[in-house]
Structures are given as structure tokens and as C-alpha cells.
Amino acid sequence: MQIDLTGRRALVTGGGAGIGAAIAHALGVAGADVAVHYAHSKEGAERVAESLTQLGRRSVAIAGDLTEAVQAKAVVEQAAGELGGLDILVNNAGHLVARSPIADMSDELWEQVGAVNVSSTFFTTRAAIGYLRDSAAGRVILMSSLAAENGGGAGSVAYAASKGAVIGFGRGLAKELAPDAITVNTLAPGFIGDTAFHNTFSPPEAQAAIVAGVPLKRAGTVDDVAGVAVFLASDLSSYVTGQVMDINGGTNFR
């Protein structure tokens, strides 16, 4: 069975690198037209958009700071304008920002982590709901983390808390949007190797220790996450909503 997203219109936030870029590319390969949002990864977002254009898709790179409500709304409106509407919203944008024990954490860091992971998700989703209600197959896909379930590594309590908030947001939103036949599901990746996230915040020895503890005995890949996202964006998942999809190689079970 092959997933066909021809005619679907998607916005992927944080789509210029890593998991976001893989999701944007996979949606395009499956047939969707894709707006690729970025905050800092301009060149990466433009490369993804260009690769999809070469496949015959409509695709555009859009800049914006999603922690600002006005900019988040502008990104959504530009994406919908370029693509002629929206069917799929992938809220991938997020960041650990910095590791810090809670006892030493500044107010500014706590607020920044919440803004980049939770507020950005809220602002973008709120702006997109009207467009998704006009779709015959509205899909919202959120991005949480294994950290929301196990508390994360050292110095990542704020990140874990923010990703736990994303799960609660997704479950509540699924109930709210169910009457509109819009599904809302959340991805919770575990250790995804060879990404800027872990290469920035996890030293090589820590990464090796994490992989050694994965039952499947390998690190996850960005394509592992993208595959689940494509499923959730498709008609195959039309009766799946309010769920958290663990992508962690068996590291954690609900």
C-alpha cells in the first residue's frame, strides 16, 4: 500500500534541518505541496523547497519567529496563500536551548524554553485552524520527545516539562477539533542520531551510552520519524487522533 498525498498542502515548521527537513521532504515525495518554515536555517529550508520543486511540487521557504504571535500568524497566512490553503500542519519547531539545573536556571531561560516549544506550537496552530477547517482532511502533527516521559538528561528539566505540555496540548486539541474531522497527534522521538540537537547538547560518549541502551541496538534516524509523520498525514490514519506516537526503538513503553 502506497501513501498518496497528491493535492494536500502542508506547512512544516523548523523544516530547514534535521527531523523537520526529513518530514518536509517525505511529505513532498508522497505528493504533497509543502511550505518549509525556518527561523535560522535559511539555506537548508531553501534546499528542501528547491528539491521538492524539482519533483513537481509547489514549495516555498518561509522565515519567521514563531514565538511571536504576529509572526506565527504571518507564516501560516503566507503558507496558505502560496499553496492555496492548508491540509497538514506539522509543528516541528522546538529546541532545548541550553542545559541548566533548575536551581541555577534563570527566569529568562525558563521562559525561552517554554516559548520556543509551547508558545510557538500554540500560536502556529491557532493561526492554522481556520484553514484546516476548510480542508477535507485536516491534520495537525505536534512534536514532543521521550524527555516528556522520562524527564530527559541532565539539565533538561525545562525542556522535558515543555514537551510534556505539548502532549497535553495535543490531547486537548484532539477533542476540540474532532467535530471538524481534524485529527491531532503527537510524535515523541527518542534518540535520533546525527542531528544538530544531539551533536550540540550530547557529547559523543553520552550518545554512545544512549544507543547501547536502545533495545533495537541502533540510533533512530530522521527518516524513522518522517515515516510516522507521513502516515499521520495520510488517509490511513483518519481514525487516529489524540495519540502520542513513540519513536524510540523500544527505549520506553507507555
Point out the residues that are catalytic.
Answer: 159
Spatial distance between the Cα atoms of 226 and 7, rounded to a whole number of angstroms: 19
